[in-house]
Amino acid sequence: MALLLGDAFPDFTAETNEGTIKSFHQWIGEGNWAILFSHPHDFTPVCTTELARAAQLYAEFHKRNVKMIALSCDSVESHREWIPDICAYCKAACGDYIKECCANDQLPFPIIADESRILAKKLGMIDPVEKDRKGDPVTARCVFVIGPERTLKLSILYPATTGRNFDEILRIVDSLQLTAEKNVATPVDWKAGDCCVVSPSMSDEAAKVTFGSDMKIVKLPSGKHYLRMVPHPK
């Protein structure tokens, strides 16, 4: 059964290029968020560009207390052999912009080796169309964002042919963390620092107490007061 938003994210043991993770929940750590993202296959073009971009943005996710971990059905040895290629592309793509994108030619996050595909099947990551060179099914481009209480906050599923936008995933994390703490929602094209809207579940009276004169009600033909704008909460 597919995981739904709010579901408890399962704990698991996994082998990675950095060694064994005995408990995924313990690996995340107290108070941290986590992003688990799968890719179809090592030594492929789209996957190489994706993990390079994830490495470039690692420091930004780290500032937000987000642990990052990748997954594919390749072996630990394959991951270790592939990482220098990712790092070479990472450095070539970012130049002097992010010198530490792959310190010592190592990724700043681990890659799970799920050769048995047990974890990929359990989490609903298998692509129904794409196969590896042996004809075995591979993982799609899944993204799971897991909150500090170990529940699923967001899931996105991309086909193997479409690379992800990790800047968008970072924006999503900003929204998830803000709305988990404040009684607001983030409107279309929102980015950190932009105005927000008051949560629909909050009454006008409660909103006035919370936001005061900072709240602006947008006048609409219906006369209803549901579109209430507020500055980005501090």
| Residues designated catalytic | 47
Cα angle 167-52-193, degrees, rounded to a multiple of 5 = 20
CA 204 to CA 216: how far, in whole Å? 11
Name 186's bridge partners.
Answer: none
CA 68 to CA 34: how far, in whole Å? 6
CA 55 to CA 53: how far, in whole Å? 5
Element containing residue 106 per DSSP (H, E):
none
Buried b (16+ CB within 10 A) or exposed e, 194-203: eebbbeeebe
Count the helices and strands in the chain (H runs, E runs).
7, 13
Q: 143: which residues sit within 8 A by CB, 6+ positions away?
A: 35, 36, 37, 154, 155, 156, 157, 158, 164, 169
Half-sphere exposure of 169 (CA within 13 A, CB side): 28
